[in-house]
A and B are shown apart, each in its own frame.
With several copies, the nearest count.
Chain A
Amino acid sequence: MAMLVVKVGGGRGIDYDAVCADLAELHRLARPWLLVHGGSHETNVLSEALGHPPRFVTSASGYESRYTDRATLEIFEMAYCGKVNKGIVERLQGLGVPAVGLAGLDGRLLSGRRKSTLTIVEGGKKKVLRDDHTGKITSVNTDLIRVLYEAGYVLVVCPPAISDDHVAVNVDGDRAAARIAEAVTADDLVILSNVPGLLRDPDDEATLIPQIASEALNEHFGYAKGRMKKKLMAAQEALDGGVGRVVLGDARIAQPIRAALGGRGTVIGRPTDHRA
């Protein structure tokens, strides 16, 4: 049975109980999966509470990202690797899933190349940020994944990754999921977030785009703004990496993963096989 990679976002309104219940059912049905999760909402709340409010910057080429200085990185780790990761592991254990939570740091599960500088536009000025702990994933430690799955465990993974110069780096969770899906030759990558999928009009959930062929994905980037743009980039990278189908699904509905596997949301690549 090919591996299923599921990415669940960390935004507001994500129902981890429903996601975990669905994952537990898939585990019971012997469908192997690996979960990658976010934690941006928790990180924002924690940053504010600790008097180090999040600073989002827009790169010269228009991408928004969290400026991750050392203090932010440690807050990021507390939210992602501490609260969210262990909260999910606790839920899954309670549902009979032998879950193991790992950050990309652990055993160099996710290695990345740290960007030495980030050029941003802020207050009408172009600026260079130097101590941004951000990177791009260059490799996935499939050996560590294989060892744990062969021993019967199931992985719950989150950033940060670790750079070649051994520094923890914040990486985009959706693209991390895509790289993992590619590395484990997953058939499906399901990306769940607090929106139904790719919408022609972001403010109108009725404008959901149900199906996009791989080669047509490029033409749809125009519909995506902010985080959705990164999800499309992730989908493109997964498809390029041999993943057959990427589904952008809604994390707020009941049985969100099986709904996505059944074609609910935006299916990119291989159309849903309704006989399965």
Chain B
Amino acid sequence: MPKCLECDAEITLKADVEAGEIIDCPDCGTEFEVRSVDPPTLDHAPQEEEDWGE
């Protein structure tokens, strides 16, 4: 099980978790991006830029 990069809490991934999905640490609430499901690797969620596009 992956650990929170901030508070080391263990983060259980849901069965239908997808690569690219954003999840929150249940303890400290930090947002992480699931970079890959197998093996489960987390990264800090990218800082949200004001979006636009066609």
Residues of A contacting B39 with CB < 8 Å? none
Inter-chain contact A66/B52, CB cutoff 8 Å: no
Smallest CB separation, A125 vs chain B (Å): 5
Cβ-based interface call for B38 (8 A): no
Which single residue of chain B is at the shortest CB-CB distance from A227? B54
Cβ-based interface call for A250 (8 A): no
Inter-chain contact B51/A63, CB cutoff 8 Å: yes
Smallest CB separation, A23 vs chain B (Å): 23
Contact of B48 among A61, A125, A170, A173 (CB under 8 A): A61
Cβ-based interface call for A213 (8 A): no
Cβ-based interface call for A256 (8 A): no
Inter-chain contact A127/B22, CB cutoff 8 Å: yes
Interface string of A145-159 (1 = CB under 8 A from B): 000000000000001
Inter-chain contact B52/A63, CB cutoff 8 Å: yes
Interface string of B26-54 (1 = CB under 8 A from A): 00000001000000000001101111111
CA distance A119 to B31 in the complex (A): 12
Which single residue of chain B is at the shortest CB-CB distance from A125? B21
Inter-chain contact A66/B54, CB cutoff 8 Å: yes
Residues of B contacting A60 with CB < 8 Å? 48, 51
Cβ-based interface call for B18 (8 A): yes
Cβ-based interface call for B20 (8 A): yes
Cβ-based interface call for A231 (8 A): no
Contact of B22 among A38, A116, A128 (CB under 8 A): A128
Inter-chain contact A126/B51, CB cutoff 8 Å: no
Inter-chain contact A66/B18, CB cutoff 8 Å: no
* Residues in chain A within 8 A of chain B (CB atoms): 38, 40, 59-61, 63, 65-66, 68, 76, 115-119, 125-130, 132, 134-136, 159, 170-173, 175, 230
